[in-house]
Structure 1
């Protein structure tokens, strides 16, 4: 039987959209977040909202988990630096996730969805990759996510789905604010190849993974499957809004003031294949490419350009 209850651990931007769609589908909703506005938004959907520290004791969540529950874990790695395990015990960044997984399994939960990232792949210099590609991350966040993925996919007695997510966009999360303020850096002319997924399609994917009929643990790339060069989107947005096209800056100059995480975006590139997402999970994308997804967002911006 498919689950009838959904527990979203770490209901942020993506988690709220998952909750909206799950509410429409009739799920009993339970969520965790410490953000006051997010708490109100979730309560408006009829969700039970909990405050829970992801480093804390998972027993506080047990009353909200049973055999009819699917659990979606949407918490980023809890540490800044990757520290490999030095003993048979799980690494410090893996242990909290496995502790929650075990607690959920003890309650009869058999479906666990982990929202990961394509950062686990590392740099493929613009080549096409699918879920069989080697994982060789060279940034701390990617290394920690890789370790968590590997532990979850090996866990017995529960169906784990790992979603390797590309850059997320949607209402309130676009390049418009930075372009409007003149803070957008077009590094090396924006020739880098990148990938995107609209938050509504990401939510679809998470719910499809939570309710899928197969019981083998799997990883899924979550992308619209239409990679593009960064300058293509920037040009598209500037032409549609009348905003000025930002000047190009070299990676070397950009790195003088940008954070390592921001620099990393411009030094890692791949074309992410989504065949498993669309064919195995059966996700029908509402926004088949970033340009289709941006059009309604740009229309809204042009009607009220002074809104954030």
Structure 2
């Protein structure tokens, strides 16, 4: 079997690590030619590619699975080359749902209502991929090794807890993202949309407090969202201006996924452990 990743980032790298012991061939694109050379040196067939021209036809020789983790329009020019490949997957974001004032959302019952320009671009990307029978995976906030509240506190990247009553975020551990993709490989359903999130939406302050307790340190000072907002980036503010809880029922019911990290607690304990 042969996986090709448009955008060989963290999810693609961790997925590849679970496939290579089973004899899979791994290939993908990166923007930096130097990184492409480094990946080729460790057995990943990598191509420097920015989406401005069609990918070399030979790059897709023998490919059975394609995973897209870069936003449009970078891969639009390549879509015509992908028709007929047995499994296509596009990594989108739960940001396409917009604000639901803390209500639950899922791909089957909730209209997509993006509020930000980047989310609107993702919706257009979804439409383009669904038109050629790709699977769409809407990811909640990704965390995992090297990308979590424990490391943020250890390295001084988190200096405050932002408090906004009623605000929660859904998250997903990168390991569970990969498990969901592997499950889709086994049970393909072209054109399906899946939400990948854990079982317990929680505030960022709650997660930071838990991480601090695990490290045996005091949590950083609390700051209200209203006080913090003027100094926040536009992107950071946008996260706090939307509130939703993301259902993971479909990956469990249809794909049989059992989350290794059903809440942020298990995920953070794994980092410390």
What's the TM-score, normalizing by structure 2? 0.90
What CA distance in whole angstroms lies between the structure 2 residues aligned with 1:70 and 1:249? 46
Q: CA deviation at 1:234?
A: 1.5
1:71 aligns with 2:48: no
Secondary structure of the structure 1 residue equivalent to 2:266: helix
Task: Please state how far the C-alpha of 1:218 moved relative to its aligned partner.
Answer: 0.9
Shift of 1:37: 6.0
Residue of structure 2 in register with 1:213 after alignment: 188
Could you tell me how far apart the structure 2 residues matched to 1:37 and 1:68 are?
Answer: 22
Which segment is superposed worse, 258-267 or 179-188?
Answer: 179-188
Deviation at 1:252, TM superposition (A): 2.6
Deviation at 1:190, TM superposition (A): 6.9
Matched, 1:16 2:13: yes
Is residue 2:127 matched to residue 1:150?
yes
Matched residue, 2:45: 48
Shift of 1:225: 2.6
**Residues 120 and 143 of structure 1 are in contact (CA less than 8 Å); yes or no, is this contact kept in structure 2?**
yes
1:104 aligns with 2:78: no
Partner Cα separation in structure 1 for residue 212 and residue 194 of structure 2: 33
2:115 paired with 1:141? no
The answer to whether the aligner puts 1:229 opposite 2:206 as a matched pair is no
Structure 1 segments (4+ residues) deviating >4 Å = 35-39
Structure 2 distance, partners of 1:115, 1:49, is 19
Residue deviations 1:21-73, cap 9 Å, x none?
121332111121245568646753x321221112x22232x213246521101
Secondary structure at 2:5 match in 1: strand
Partner deviation per Cα, 1:253-300 (whole Å, 9 max, x = no partner): 22221111111122211111111111212222221221111102123x
Indicate the RMSD between aligned Cα atoms, in angstroms: 2.2
Contact in 1 for aligned 2:2/2:24 (Cα 8 Å) = yes
TM-score (norm 1): 0.80
Distance 1:209 1:65 in 2: 21
In 2 relative to 1, CA 220–258 (structure 1 residues): closer, same or farther, beyond 3 Å?
same
Quote the offset at 1:101 in angstroms.
1.7
- Name structure 1 gaps, 5 residues minimum: 78-92, 300-308
Displacement of 1:238 in angstroms is: 0.8
How far apart, CA to CA, are the structure 2 residues paired with 1:31 and 1:230? 33
Structure 2 residue aligned with 1:57, among 43, 47, 53? 53
CA distance in 1, matches of 2:151, 2:30: 25
Partner of 2:231: helix, strand, or coil?
Answer: coil
Contact 1:16–1:42 (CA under 8 A) maintained in structure 2:
no
CA 99–162 in structure 1, closer or farther in 2 if over 3 Å, else same: same
The count of corresponding residues between Structure 1 and Structure 2 is: 270
Separation (CA, whole Å) in 2 of partners of 1:252 and 1:232: 18
CA change 1:208–1:102 in 2 (3 A) is farther
Q: Once the two structures are superposed, what CA deviation does each residue of 1:51-98 show, in whole Å capped at 9, x if it has no partner?
A: 1112x22232x2132465211011134xxxxxxxxxxxxxxx4xx433
Q: 1:68 to 1:8 in 2, by over 3 A?
A: closer
1:67–1:183 distance in 2 versus 1, CA, 3 Å:
closer
1:237–1:298 contact (8 Å) kept in structure 2: no
